Structure 1
Amino acid sequence: MKQSSNKKSREATAFLYERLSRDDNLEGESYSIGNQKKLLTKVAKEKGYTNLVHFLDDGISGVTMNRPGFVEMMQQLEQGKASAVFVKDLSRLGRNYIEVGRLTEEFFPDHDIRLVAVSDNIDTAEGENELAPIRNLFNEWYARDISKKRRISNKIKGNSGEPMGLPPYGYIKDPNNPKHWVIDEEAAQVVRRIFDMTLEGFGTEQIATQFEKEGILTPQAYWIQKGIGRPGKTKTRPATKWNGSTITHLLYQQEYCGDVLNFKTYSKSYKNKKRIHNDPENWVVFQDVHEPIIERAVFEQVQQKRGKMRKRRTSNGEHNMFSGLLVCADCGCNLHFHFNQGNPEIKYFNCSNYKGNRGTCQSTHYIRVDFLEEVVLGEIQRLTKFASLYEDDFLKAVIGHSQQADEADRKLKEKELKALLARDEELDGLFERIYEDNVSGKISDERFSRMSRRYEDEQKELTEKIKQLRSEIEKQSSRTMTTDMFIRLVRKYTRAKKLTPRMLNELVEKIEVFNAEKVNGVWEQRLRIHYNCVGTIEIPSALPLPTPDVSVNTRKGVVVNYAPCDVAI
């Protein structure tokens, strides 16, 4: 009796499936979810079904069969809960020829399920429809053609400077112009603090821990609180639980300089929606499009310091601002931070590869921290005096004599690049026009094939030239930008009285430490300072800018003096 009741319930039940994607919006109001529901409800009732269950997927492409509403419907069909499925047309089931064919040819018949596709005049209760496979094939072709058109449209938009993605944490879309980003000041303050703390020597995990202590919302939690919709799954973790990986991700966002970076990801085909990271050389970058949160100079400094910011700690957890910056002048290995066991106030570095510690380096390259601080501060003060008192000589030392020729060459390449991009965009338009002419019958398939092949060959050649030019321009721009940035930084610290971690990280790339040697009866410790962006700088000996007079007692009766080594060997 119960089995008979279940059978009657199944026979009276029909599943009504509605689907709408962004592409289907192009077809007009008839494809809206609401109109699909009305149509299917009316037809199902006319055919005698009294128990109607709706399943829907809104905003999901039919190319993928992994759609929540569709998957749930299929699971219930396998459990025998309905005897019929109603859709507006076969494309609602999907635009995948193989998968939809499997449903119509195998799954529905095997499970004794009636399929009604209203607009396609398909009702399996009235017999097999021979046109169904052809309709499925056309539905997949439609998805492919729409994908091709969308790719062309996206390429045109992306190459015009319009942001292709959502604004990163710290920005929101301009309410008056969604194609433009404006600063979200509340989030931007957090971003600025991340960059500041990084330059002050804090690691990503330290920053994350500090933010968690202060109860600062993570980007995801912040967007949820503000009602800002973002794609992807929401992770179930505390709203203030920051990860070092989140900090790292934010530190690499060039958009904070005011730039738009397009084509950072791509998909392999219209059937595979997975986004793949694109090579940076294939990105299209537009500088100074929106207001920056981070100065470009600060962003470049952080990028240079990333990977050099790991701070070696002593057994009691202490770290030093020179950690990660000191290298052995003889073997090239890093120097490690220590303190004297008998007198913890004496802090020093020595070569991590010293043979006494099972390494291969012949000397310890011992150097005291207090000695280092005095020397580096003295050299920076000497450099800032060089910049302020002898500006022309300083610019020559930093930039060299080739900048003017380099700048002229870069401008010529930028002009050539602009022309290539214009032709590339023109080819996109030509391709789209001949495609439409082919569809409308104005040109034959043979002519379309011949013309499209010629355009594609030219575009492929253009792509290679554009990629090469962009790479060359980027290198030249980087050289100009980094030297300008360094000059501004040097002037920033003209009146510095104390060495700080930020000053050190902004100005110094690395310091080569030589082993102390006895010269004419006097012990000397040589250092070679490599500055960010420009390397070593030789200050002319003729100028009245004496080297820092620094000495230190390493042990009773032994004094070590500083001896500069400005020029790299």
Structure 2
Amino acid sequence: MKVAIYCRLSEEDRNKQFETDDSNSIQNQKSMLLQYAMEQGWELYNIYSDDDYTGSDRRRPEFNRLLKDAEQHKFDIILCKTQSRFTRELELVEKYIHGLFPIWGIRFISIVDNADTANKGNKKSRQINGLVNEWYLEDMSENIRSVLTNRRENGFHIGAFALYGYKKDPDQKGHLIIDEEAATVVREVFTLFSQGYGKTAIARMLNDRGIPNPTEYKRLHGLRYQQPKTKNSTLWKYFAISDMLINEIYIGNMVQGKYGSVSYKTKQNKPRPKEQWYRVEGTHEPIIDRELWDRVQALIKQRAKPFDVGTIGLFARKARCANCGYTMRSSKNHNKHYLQCSNRHVAKDACIGSFISVDKLERLVIDELNRLSAEYLDKDELEQNIEFCDNLQGQKNRLLSDIAAYEKKVAEYSKGIRELYMDKVKGLLSESDYVAMSKDFTTERDRLERVIADGEKQLSELEEKIAAGDNRRELIEQYTNLEHLTREIVETLIDYISVGKRIPGTRDVPIEIHWNF
């Protein structure tokens, strides 16, 4: 029998002597598991080891390599110290330990908590372990969130890096002090803007003098900051200047919480409404005095243009320069709207400077769309066979899938409660243990039943929308016989458009359309 050993250590229990070494605990796990495997007479296939990863991180490199090798049945057994070292998520316990591993012919064993898929009698204990680990994750996440919220509300800086112009105070955790080298640039930016210079012009001036942008500045000063892997990533851009000019941290106010995590199970963040930000005044020394700040804010307000959802925003965030990859910005001249590379004016030789009128780009997209529809689409066949309201149908399918999964979980919890009762009747469980375990199962089952009821209500609403929106012929015409584009059509059909530089001696601008289909 070939055995694969899996070890994991998270940051909270890390204890390294040197950064290049495995943690002591990782070494202890390997030693324990190797000895156990030798005692059983198993042949070692490989050791998979993830250091500094939590049990809820699905992106663990060795964890994913282990799963890939397991699917290819390169070994017969997975051996861990505890089930939680493999995963702390109940969902993954069910998916792999109780689902795919038996199908792949893989036996899972964890030594300390006696989990062994070859022993059918301890499946409930593995599920209880998974449930307890899931609660541990949720409680830990909530505790961390509570601590961070408290520190934000009290004006402590909790970010990994200080804002450009500041650095972390080595003598006071959560306090910012001025980084004079960068602060000089910040003051210059505010002063130049107050004197009438535009944001692109300021960026060009800084680039011409070779002043590194904030991300490059951090890297040059030895900070482990994630550097974007794009051409000209060390240059100042319009948006860097724009964001700087409205950041209240420069007048001594701590503003945090602009983004919040979607769930404790993912690192994905999303923007939070401004009223939910944490704002505390006077937490650190300002770089910009109030008079200059007020003057700049007044100028920004004067220059702000109302957003036109018609032509000017038609290709917003969709057109990219074919040379440098940056999003093209809109401009207006003689009542005509144009798109130009945002790198066009920020530095010498920064980019070839892709440039195209919005009208011309719209016509090129329509011509290509009509060509595709004429070449590939049979309207009558399309009308009969294509299911419209695709987004709604997709939502419905996902909702049905979620409800089915929740109903399966409810059935499992109900079965678990019945089995616990039988164990109590047989004297295998004490009354107090039965009450504690069954209470947890009942609480989770009731919660899932409420989720299912909400899902069924959403499902009913979606079906009404789908039934009301079955105007097939009109939808076909909307996307095949176009004279003008709308923002909705652009969002639906186009991922992005790559725009090149005009071909010399002609009026032709090469474009490459990346469709959503």
TM-score (norm 2): 0.52
Matched, 1:61 2:51: no
Call closer, same or farther: CA 1:236–1:72 in 2, change over 3 Å: farther
Cα-Cα RMSD: 3.3
**SS at 1:129's partner residue?**
helix
Partner of 2:193: 198
User: Is contact 2:9-2:26 (8 Å) kept?
Assistant: yes
**Aligned mates of 2:274, 2:304 — CA distance in 1:** 25
Q: Could you tell me which amino acid in structure 1 is paired with residue 188 of structure 2?
A: R
User: Is contact 1:14-1:52 (8 Å) kept?
Assistant: yes
Call closer, same or farther: CA 1:297–1:25 in 2, change over 3 Å: farther
Q: Could you tell me which amino acid in structure 2 is paired with residue 216 of structure 1?
A: I
Deviations along 1:477-530, whole A, 9 cap, x unmatched? xxxxxxxxxxxxxxxxxxxxxxxxxxxxxxxxxxxxxxxxxxxxxxxxxxxxxx
Matched, 1:180 2:175: yes
User: Is contact 2:107-2:117 (8 Å) kept?
Assistant: yes
User: How is 1:106-125 mapped onto 2 (pairs within 5 angstroms)?
Assistant: 106-125=99-118
**Aligned mates of 1:71, 1:190 — CA distance in 2:** 45
Equivalent in 212, 221, 226 of residue 207 of structure 2: 212
User: Is contact 1:182-1:290 (8 Å) kept?
Assistant: yes
Partner of 1:97: 90
Q: Could you tell me which amino acid in structure 1 is paired with residue 84 of structure 2?
A: S
Shift of 1:137: 0.9
Partner of 2:10: 20
Q: Which runs of 5+ in 1 are unaligned?
A: 1-10, 312-335, 338-444, 450-569
**Aligned mates of 1:42, 1:250 — CA distance in 2:** 58
**Aligned mates of 1:301, 1:55 — CA distance in 2:** 56
**Aligned mates of 2:233, 2:280 — CA distance in 1:** 34
**SS at 1:177's partner residue?**
coil
**Aligned mates of 2:75, 2:139 — CA distance in 1:** 35
**Further displaced range: 30-39 or 182-191:** 30-39
**SS at 2:113's partner residue?**
coil
**Aligned mates of 1:290, 1:229 — CA distance in 2:** 24
**SS at 1:175's partner residue?**
coil
Shift of 1:36: 3.4
Call closer, same or farther: CA 1:89–1:150 in 2, change over 3 Å: same
Partner of 1:249: 243
Partner of 1:222: 217
Q: Flag the structure with larger Rg.
A: 1
Call closer, same or farther: CA 1:144–1:240 in 2, change over 3 Å: closer
Shift of 1:233: 6.6
**SS at 2:122's partner residue?**
coil
Deviations along 1:424-454, whole A, 9 cap, x unmatched? xxxxxxxxxxxxxxxxxxxxx9xxx9xxxxx
**Aligned mates of 2:213, 2:185 — CA distance in 1:** 10
User: Is contact 1:203-1:310 (8 Å) kept?
Assistant: no
Shift of 1:175: 1.5
Equivalent in 304, 307, 313 of residue 298 of structure 2: 304
What percent identity do the matched residue pairs reach? 32
User: How is 1:155-554 mapped onto 2 (pairs within 5 angstroms)?
Assistant: 155-165=149-159, 166-230=161-225, 234-238=228-232, 240-306=234-300, 308-309=302-303
Shift of 1:112: 1.7
User: Is contact 1:13-1:83 (8 Å) kept?
Assistant: yes
User: Is contact 2:256-2:277 (8 Å) kept?
Assistant: yes
**SS at 1:53's partner residue?**
strand
Call closer, same or farther: CA 1:40–1:179 in 2, change over 3 Å: farther
User: Is contact 1:20-1:31 (8 Å) kept?
Assistant: no
**Aligned mates of 2:213, 2:69 — CA distance in 1:** 39
Shift of 1:244: 1.5
Call closer, same or farther: CA 1:93–1:204 in 2, change over 3 Å: farther
User: Is contact 2:6-2:80 (8 Å) kept?
Assistant: yes
User: Is contact 1:164-1:263 (8 Å) kept?
Assistant: no
Equivalent in 57, 63, 76 of residue 70 of structure 1: 63
**SS at 2:224's partner residue?**
coil
**Further displaced range: 111-120 or 61-70:** 61-70
User: Is contact 1:212-1:240 (8 Å) kept?
Assistant: no
**Aligned mates of 2:171, 2:252 — CA distance in 1:** 18
**SS at 2:212's partner residue?**
coil
Q: Could you tell me which amino acid in structure 2 is paired with residue 102 of structure 1?
A: K
User: Is contact 2:107-2:118 (8 Å) kept?
Assistant: yes
Q: Could you tell me which amino acid in structure 1 is paired with residue 147 of structure 2?
A: S
**Aligned mates of 1:202, 1:72 — CA distance in 2:** 54
Call closer, same or farther: CA 1:117–1:162 in 2, change over 3 Å: same
Deviations along 1:343-376, whole A, 9 cap, x unmatched? xxxxxxxxxxxxxxxxxxxxxxxxxxxxxxxxxx
User: Is contact 1:215-1:240 (8 Å) kept?
Assistant: no
**SS at 2:97's partner residue?**
helix
Deviations along 1:242-261, whole A, 9 cap, x unmatched? 22122222222211112212
**SS at 1:144's partner residue?**
helix
User: Is contact 1:18-1:57 (8 Å) kept?
Assistant: yes
Q: Could you tell me which amino acid in structure 2 is paired with residue 226 of structure 1?
A: H
Q: Could you tell me which amino acid in structure 2 is paired with residue 117 of structure 1?
A: S
Q: Could you tell me which amino acid in structure 1 is paired with residue 75 of structure 2?
A: A
Call closer, same or farther: CA 1:183–1:115 in 2, change over 3 Å: same
Call closer, same or farther: CA 1:265–1:239 in 2, change over 3 Å: closer
**SS at 1:179's partner residue?**
coil
**SS at 2:75's partner residue?**
coil
User: Is contact 2:177-2:284 (8 Å) kept?
Assistant: yes
Q: Could you tell me which amino acid in structure 2 is paired with residue 73 of structure 1?
A: L
Q: Could you tell me which amino acid in structure 2 is paired with residue 14 of structure 1?
A: A
**Aligned mates of 1:37, 1:258 — CA distance in 2:** 50
Deviations along 1:58-83, whole A, 9 cap, x unmatched? 1x433342333322332333344333
Call closer, same or farther: CA 1:94–1:296 in 2, change over 3 Å: farther
Shift of 1:155: 2.5
**Aligned mates of 2:68, 2:213 — CA distance in 1:** 37
**SS at 2:200's partner residue?**
helix
Deviations along 1:511-561, whole A, 9 cap, x unmatched? xxxxxxxxxxxxxxxxxxxxxxxxxxxxxxxxxxxxxxxxxxxxxxxxxxx
Q: Could you tell me which amino acid in structure 2 is paired with residue 204 of structure 1?
A: K
**SS at 1:18's partner residue?**
strand
**Aligned mates of 1:234, 1:248 — CA distance in 2:** 19
Matched, 1:39 2:19: no
Call closer, same or farther: CA 1:269–1:239 in 2, change over 3 Å: closer
Shift of 1:135: 0.8
Q: Which runs of 5+ in 2 are unaligned?
A: 16-22, 306-332, 335-438, 444-517
User: Is contact 1:87-1:117 (8 Å) kept?
Assistant: yes
**SS at 2:58's partner residue?**
coil
Call closer, same or farther: CA 1:176–1:97 in 2, change over 3 Å: same
User: Is contact 1:172-1:182 (8 Å) kept?
Assistant: yes
Shift of 1:168: 0.8
